[in-house]
Amino acid sequence: MIPQADYFYVRDRLLRREEIALLDIREEAPHAESHPLFAAQFPLTRLEADAFSKVPNRQTAIVTLDDGEGLAETAARRLSEMGYTSVRIFAGGIQAWSAAGGELFRDVNVPSKSFGEFVEAHRHTPSLSAEEVQTLLETDDDVVVVDVRRFDEYQTMSIPQGISVPGAELVLRVPELAPNPSTRVIVNCAGRTRSIIGTQSLINAGLPNPISALRNGTIGWTLAGQTLDRGASRQYPQTSAETLRIANERSRQVADRAGVRRCSLSEALAWRSDPNRTTYFFDPRTAQEYEQGHYPGFQWAPGGQLVQETEMMAPVRGARIVLADPLGPRANMTASWLAQMDWEVAVIDGGSQQDLTERGPWQAPRPPLPAVKKISPADCDRYRTDFPDSLIVDFSTHAHYVRAHVPGACWVLRSQLDRAVSELSMARCLIVMAADDGIAAFCAQELQGLLPANVELRLLQGGLAAWRAAGKPIEEGATRLLAPPIDRYRRPYEGTAVTPEAMQAYLDWEFGLVEQLRRDGSHHFRVI
């Protein structure tokens, strides 16, 4: 019998700064509607794929949370089977949290977004309206606009003349873009958080330029009736040795002021075996740098996104974070913000290029895959001919399924299998697939436990990529959904078809986060 936890258990650990992973097992859309401040969205579909990397210490205090659907119980059982020894189920779900007096938050990445508002409220981070920036761009040649989002976000829509400089790169790259101290630097993101943090990063690092955030980002620009660019590709230039030296000095001073620790690589790696602490190891550089060589066991987490999505990358609140950047500035600036968000943070000192012994993309550790009979794309076609009542069940994300899927396949969410099982049980054979064969195998295992014994299960090896490589036809659209498409929350600042009303409502919500933080009282945020 898995024990239960209540609001007071969770809150006490947060207030005492003791490690806890409060895992919201629901899909992203219901999570975004209402959740506690430090609840990390941890969907059932990816449970086994993410658990060992996101909750690396099996003795961590884990509390699984839902809204009474039974997902918390399923997740707790799975985690216990994977070797986690301190798993609890939050009794009564979201409603019980609220009934006990707990504050509930909307949207995603709320700890980071509320921290951004907290920073602006305390440091009065300078900003300019969209109209003011438009005038500057039309009348002043000595203005540089830097977009601190991911490059793919920047390409979707950007401020005219804007240059892509993801957040952790700012202190290292802006001096090359604005070498004249009188050049005005404007920092933007889609909304508010990353532009506030980016602007304050440059100010904290002591850049001599006049620096301002674009107030309310591309949302504010759109609400002002101004035109955005689409498909821009402007990126920062290479950095000189002198710029790197100065950026390293500046960023280290900021990190020191924030209370960031220094440690050697050997000391950091020894923390992996500490049974009493969770330690995350992140590399905040660019993906290209990371894949060319990184320290053993360090996960790629671009610094700007790590500050923006902290609870998703490091869901164990109270854990320790180690950052590594052989150049220095990306790790130091990222660490300075994490420390202000009340994380214990250390930066690797004294590492060398020879220590960058691992190559390629990050490979997350996973438990052994369950045994599921596999089938190739060619055999899949023949199998469906021999068994006309067979059915392909696609566990990919809804967005991927709509873009392309095997003709005749149906789409299901692992968290919603109870809704689909009656229809799936009518098939003679179910062929399971996903974008990741490992995820497909665990979904198949879950499905097997719900099906009659006479239903066969197969796994389409290689998923849609293998199907396409075999020259097989594909289908598009939401053609056969056996679950509601709730695995993705549509952010009000994404895409190009967001209504002005939705944008303004999002901004109004952000403005209210500081007051919500005050009512919640569990954050321990501070500002240097």
Residues 414 and 302 in one domain: no
Residues 226 and 126 in one domain: yes
- What's the CA gap between 416 and 413, in Å, rounded? 5
User: Of 355, 385, 406, which residue sits at a domain end?
Assistant: 355
Residues 406 and 461 in one domain: yes
- At 353, the pLDDT band (50, 70, 90 cuts) reads confident
Residues 224 and 127 in one domain: yes
> At 323, which CATH number?
3.40.250.10
**Helix, coil or strand: residue 422:** helix
Residue 347 has pLDDT above 80, yes or no: yes
Residue 487 domain-assigned (yes or no)? no
Residue 245 domain-assigned (yes or no)? no
The predicted structure's pLDDT at residue 443: 95
Average pLDDT over residues 306-321: 97
Q: Which residue has the tokens 């869901």?
A: 315
For 492-526, what is each residue's pLDDT tens digit? 766 656 788 888 888 888 999 999 999 999 999 99
User: Taking all residues of the chain, what is their mean pLDDT, rounded to a whole number?
Assistant: 95
- At 362, the pLDDT band (50, 70, 90 cuts) reads very high
Residues 413 and 453 in one domain: yes
Average pLDDT over residues 105-113: 96
Residues 101 and 123 in one domain: no
Residues 287 and 336 in one domain: yes
- Whether residue 522 contacts residue 104, with contact meaning beta carbons closer than 8 Å, is answered with no
Residue 246 domain-assigned (yes or no)? no
Residues 102 and 123 in one domain: no
- What's the CA gap between 151 and 217, in Å, rounded? 15
CA angle 61, 64, 70 (to 5 degrees): 150
User: Of 81, 107, 133, which residue sits at a domain end?
Assistant: 107
**Helix, coil or strand: residue 445:** helix
The predicted structure's pLDDT at residue 496: 58
The predicted structure's pLDDT at residue 140: 84
The predicted structure's pLDDT at residue 204: 98
The predicted structure's pLDDT at residue 351: 76
- What's the CA gap between 452 and 448, in Å, rounded? 8
Looking only at the bridges linking them, the beta strands covering 316-317 and 20-24 are antiparallel
Residue 493 domain-assigned (yes or no)? no
For 189-204, what is each residue's pLDDT tens digit? 999 999 999 999 999 9
User: Of 57, 75, 107, which residue sits at a domain end?
Assistant: 107
For 289-300, what is each residue's pLDDT tens digit? 999 999 999 999
Residue 331 domain-assigned (yes or no)? yes
The predicted structure's pLDDT at residue 283: 97
The tally of domains found in the chain comes to 4
The predicted structure's pLDDT at residue 491: 81
Look up the domain containing 76 and give its range.
Answer: 4-107
CA angle 462, 463, 466 (to 5 degrees): 55
Range with the poorest average pLDDT among 23-37, 165-179, 382-396, 449-463: 382-396
Phi/psi of residue 343, nearest 5 degrees: -100, 145
The predicted structure's pLDDT at residue 506: 86
**103-106, long-range: CB < 8 A, 24+ apart:** 103/36, 103/37, 103/516, 103/519, 103/520, 104/34, 104/35, 104/36, 105/34, 105/35, 105/36, 105/37, 105/513, 105/516, 105/520, 106/32, 106/33, 106/34, 106/509
The predicted structure's pLDDT at residue 497: 66
Average pLDDT over residues 315-332: 96
| Residue in 150, 26, 27 with CA at minimum distance from that of residue 489 | 27
For 464-502, what is each residue's pLDDT tens digit? 999 999 999 999 999 999 999 999 998 876 665 678 888
Residues 91 and 153 in one domain: no
pTM of the prediction? 0.95
Residues 96 and 119 in one domain: no
525: DSSP letter: -
For 390-435, what is each residue's pLDDT tens digit? 899 999 999 999 999 999 999 999 999 988 998 999 888 999 999 9
Burial class of residue 60 in the structure, from the number of CB atoms within 10 Å of its CB (0-12 exposed, 13-18 middle, 19+ buried): buried
The predicted structure's pLDDT at residue 271: 95
Residues 18 and 80 in one domain: yes
Residue 517 domain-assigned (yes or no)? no
- What's the CA gap between 397 and 413, in Å, rounded? 8
| Residue in 156, 234, 236 with CA at minimum distance from that of residue 189 | 156
Residues 276 and 337 in one domain: yes
Residue 344 domain-assigned (yes or no)? yes
